[in-house]
Amino acid sequence: MHFVKDFLNDLKRKDHKPQLGGLDILKYIGPGLLVTVGFIDPGNWASNIAAGSHYGYTLLWMISLSTIMLIILQHNVAHLGIATGLCLAEAANLYTPKWISKPVLSTAVLASISTSLAEILGGAIALQMLFNIPIPIGALLVVIFVFIMLLSNSYRKMEKWIIAFVSIIGLSFIYELTLVHINWAEAGIGWVKPVIPEGSMVIVMSVLGAVVMPHNLFLHSEIIQSRKWNLENDKIIKKQLDYELFDTLLSMIVGWAINSAIILLAATVFFKSGIIVGELQEAKSILVPLLGNNASSIFAIALLFAGISSTITSGMAGGSIFAGIYGEPYDLKDIHSKIGVGISLVVALIIICLISNPFKGLIISQMILSIQLPFTIFLQLYLTSSQQVMGKYVNKKRTTFVLILVGSIVTLLNIKLLISFI
C-alpha cells in the first residue's frame, strides 16, 4: 500500500523531524477502533453466545461474511467523509430528494435506538450482576452517566481508556482459546461454509446486525473528520485514504477475532454440553477457565465497560443522524444533535423498562439492525457512486459492483428472514 512507501520515504528524508517520524501513523489511527467498540458490544456478546450455544461452530461463517462486508462498507463511508467533509446523514440531506432522505434517515434513527437498547441493557445487566440493582434502575443509571459524559465532552478524555479496556477484555476471550479444547477442523469449516440450520434465521440476522451496524456507518463518516484535515490538498486527502484503509482493516480484523472467539468458546462450553443460554448472566462461565471464581465479577465489569462505551457511540450516532436530517454536522452545542442523542437513549430506556426478557430483547434488537441495513447500504452506494457528490474520488466501477453485491446479500437474507416468519 502507498502509505507504507510514503512512511519509509519520510524516514529517509534528511529534513525529517524525529518527533513526527514513527508516530506519524498514530495521527490516522482511532476512528476505526472507536467503531470497533460498537461491534464488540453487549448485543454482539448476546448474538454470538446464542449462535455458539445453539449451533456450535456452524454459524462462524456469518462472522466472516459480516466482517468482509463491514470492511468494504466502513472504508467506503470513511472515503465519503474524507472526500466531501460531510457525514453520511449530511450528504443524504444535501444530495438526495427529501422523500428519500427523510424516510431513510428516520429508519436510521430507529436503528440507533435499537442499538442503544442493546448497549444500555448490557450495562444494566452488568450492574445487576455486580450490585443486584434492578435492570430498569441500572439502565437509568447508565443513561444518566452517558449523558453526563457526552454533554460535558469528558468522553473524549476517557475514550482511549475505554477502548483499551474493552480490547483487553476482548483479547482475554481469544487467550482463553488456548485453555479450552477447540475442534479447529470443524471451526475452519464453520468459518467458510455457509449453512443456515432450520430455525436459525433470527440468530443469523442478529449476528449480521450485531457486526454490520447501520449507526456505525453514520458514525464513521462523522468521526473520520475529527482530525480536521485540509480538504483542499489532494496529497493530504490521498494520504488520509491510505492510512484510513489501514486503520479500518486493523480494527475490523480485531473485531472479527473477538467475535469469532466468543462463538468458539460458547460452542465449546455450552453447545457440546447441551446447554442453551437463555440469559447473558449465564455466559459468565465462559471466563471460568481463565479467571476461576472471579469470573462473574470480571465478566460483569467487562460487560459494564462495553455497555457504557458503546452507548456513547450509539448516542453520538443518533445525534449525528438527527442533525443530518436538518443538514447540520454533529455538535452537542446544537439543539438538533442534543435531541438526536436524547431520542436514541431515552426511547431505548423506555423500551427496556417494558420488556420482560432482556436476553431475547438483545437478540431482537440486533435483528432489527439487519432489517434497516439495506436502506443505509443503498443510500451510501448512491452517494459514493455520484460524481456530483464525490468528484474525482467517486467509486470505481468495481467498487460499485461490490457494494451492490453486499447490499443484495443483506437484502436476500432479510427476505429469507421474512419467509421464515411466514
Are the C-beta atoms of residues 276 and 54 closer than 8 Å to each other?
Answer: yes
In a domain, 272, yes or no: yes
pLDDT confidence of residue 4: 41
Highest-confidence segment of 11-25, 360-374, 381-395: 381-395
Residue 203 inside a domain? The answer is yes
295 part of a folded domain: yes
Structural domain that includes position 304: 42-191+198-421
- Which of the four pLDDT bands, split at 50, 70 and 90, describes residue 170? confident
Q: Which of 94-98, 105-109, 208-212 has the lowest mean pLDDT?
A: 208-212
Domain-located, residue 11: no
Are 344 and 319 in contact by the 8 Å Cβ rule? The answer is yes
Lookup result for grid cell 476512528:
31
Please choose, from the candidates 308, 309, 283, the residue with its C-alpha nearest in 3D space to the C-alpha of residue 35: 309
pTM of the predicted protein model: 0.80
Would you state the pLDDT for residue 292?
A: 67
CA distance 258 to 225: 27
List CB contacts of 104: < 8 A, sequence separation 6 or more.
92, 96, 375, 376, 379
Question: What residue type is 102 in one-letter code?
Answer: K
**What CATH code is carried by the domain that includes residue 286?**
1.20.1740.10
Cβ-Cβ contacts under 8 Å for 296 (sequence gap 6 or more): 129, 284
Report the C-alpha gap between 246 and 79 in whole angstroms: 13
Please report whether residue 248 resides in a domain: yes
Which residues are within 8 A (CB) of 196 and not within 5 positions of it... i.e. 6 or more apart? 204, 416
HEC string of the chain?
Answer: CHHHHHHHHHHHCCCCCHHHCCCHHHHCCCHHHHHHHHCCCHHHHHHHHHHHHHHCCCCHHHHHHHHHHHHHHHHHHHHHHHHHCCCHHHHHHHHCCHHHHHHHHHHHHHHHHHHHHHHHHHHHHHHHHHHCCCHHHHHHHHHHHHHHHHHHCCHHHHHHHHHHHHHHHHHHHHHHCCCCCCCHHHHHHHHHCCCCCCCCHHHHHHHHHHHCCHHHHHHHHHHHHHHCCCCCCHHHHHHHHHHHHHHHHHHHHHHHHHHHHHHHHHHHHCHHHCCCCCCHHHHHHHHHHHHHHHHHHHHHHHHHHHHHHHHHHHHHHHHHHHHHHCCCCCCCCCHHHHHHHHHHHHHHHHHHHHCCCHHHHHHHHHHHHHHHHHHHHHHHHHHHCCHHHHHHHCCCHHHHHHHHHHHHHHHHHHHHHHHHHC
Residue 89 lies in a domain: yes
Q: What is the pLDDT of residues 254-263, one digit of tens each?
A: 888 888 888 9
Q: Length of the chain in residues, anyone?
A: 422
Number of domains present in the structure of the chain:
1
In the prediction, which pLDDT does 7 show? 35
Check residue 343 and give its pLDDT: 93
User: pLDDT digit string (tens) for 386-414?
Assistant: 999 888 889 988 989 999 999 898 888 88
Q: What is the pLDDT of residue 270?
A: 81
Q: At what angle do helices 98-131 and 135-152 cross, to 10 degrees?
A: 120
Mean pLDDT throughout 338-353?
Answer: 91
Whether 16 is covered by a domain: the verdict is no
Taking residues 307-315, what's their average pLDDT? 85
Establish if 5 belongs to a structural domain.
Answer: no
